[in-house]
Structure 1
Amino acid sequence: MASKLNQLRSKAAQASQFVTKHGCAYYKELLENNKKYIVDPPTVEKCQELSKQLFYTRLASIPGRYEAFWKELDGVKHIWRNRKELKVEDAGIAALFGLELYAWFCVGEIVGRGFTFTGYYV
């Protein structure tokens, strides 16, 4: 256990040194590349205004997303009604998609539990 702690400390020290050497240059390059998104002057009032704009823009997009959801649902209903005409390839793709979703949820659960299969730390 102590050797793993020492390894972790050395890796953390290496990461810290890397960030110390390259972090400032990365920060400056990032700001330079995204200069068009920076609002001048950067005041608290401007940040609050932008925050409100984002919130109300998202709020205004709800009806469009709502309509798109119902259009997608109608498409699924249409496919379900005409399932007798469904090709094997389409059914296979749908099955693989469902299997992939299930696998991602299982992997997510395992990762969330700290890579344990039982959920208990031994």
Structure 2
Amino acid sequence: MASKLHQLQAKACQASQFVAKHGCSYYKQLMEKNKQYVVEPPTVEKCNLLSKQLFYTRLASIPGRYESFWKELDCVKQLWKNRQELKVEDAGIAALFGLECYAWYCAGEIVGRGFTFTGYYP
């Protein structure tokens, strides 16, 4: 356990040295590249205004998302009614989608358990 702690401290030290050496130039380069997204003047009031605009814009998008959801659900219902006419490609895509959802579920469970595969080990 102590050796892992020492390794972690060494890696953290290396990372902090790298950031100290290259962080300022990276920051300047990043800000220069993305200056079109910076609102002038960068004040607290402007940040509060932008956060409120983002929140209420997303809130206003809920009806459109709700409508899109029901359209997608109607499409799935229509496909299910006509499942005898379903092509092999469509069934394969649906199977891959289900497999992907299951894989994300499994990955989430593994991450939730602290990256252990068989359970919790203190």
Q: How does 1:19-30 map to 2 (within 5 A)?
A: 19-30=19-30
Moved more, 78-87 or 45-54: 45-54
* Structure 1 residue aligned with 2:119: 119
CA distance in 2, matches of 1:114, 1:41: 43
CA distance in 2, matches of 1:53, 1:111: 34
Structure 1 residues 79-108: Cα deviation after superposition (integer angstroms, max 9, x where no partner): 011011111221122112111210121122
Moved more, 14-23 or 57-66: 57-66
How many residue pairs align between the two structures? Answer: 122
* Structure 2 residue aligned with 1:109: 109
Q: How does 1:4-23 map to 2 (within 5 A)?
A: 4-23=4-23
Query: What is the TM-score with the length of structure 2 in the denominator?
Result: 0.91
1:44 partnered with 2:51: no
Q: CA RMSD, aligned part only?
A: 1.4
Q: What secondary structure, in the 3-state scheme, does the structure 2 residue paired with 1:93 have?
A: helix
Q: Where does structure 1 lack aligned partners over 5 or more consecutive residues?
A: none
Q: What secondary structure, in the 3-state scheme, does the structure 2 residue paired with 1:25 have?
A: helix
Deviation of 1:15 after TM superposition, in Å, equals 0.6
One-letter code aligned to 2:116:
T
Q: What secondary structure, in the 3-state scheme, does the structure 2 residue paired with 1:4 have?
A: helix
Deviation of 1:121 after TM superposition, in Å, equals 0.8
User: Percent of pairs identical after alignment?
Assistant: 80
Q: Where does structure 2 lack aligned partners over 5 or more consecutive residues?
A: none
One-letter code aligned to 2:34:
N
Deviation of 1:46 after TM superposition, in Å, equals 1.2
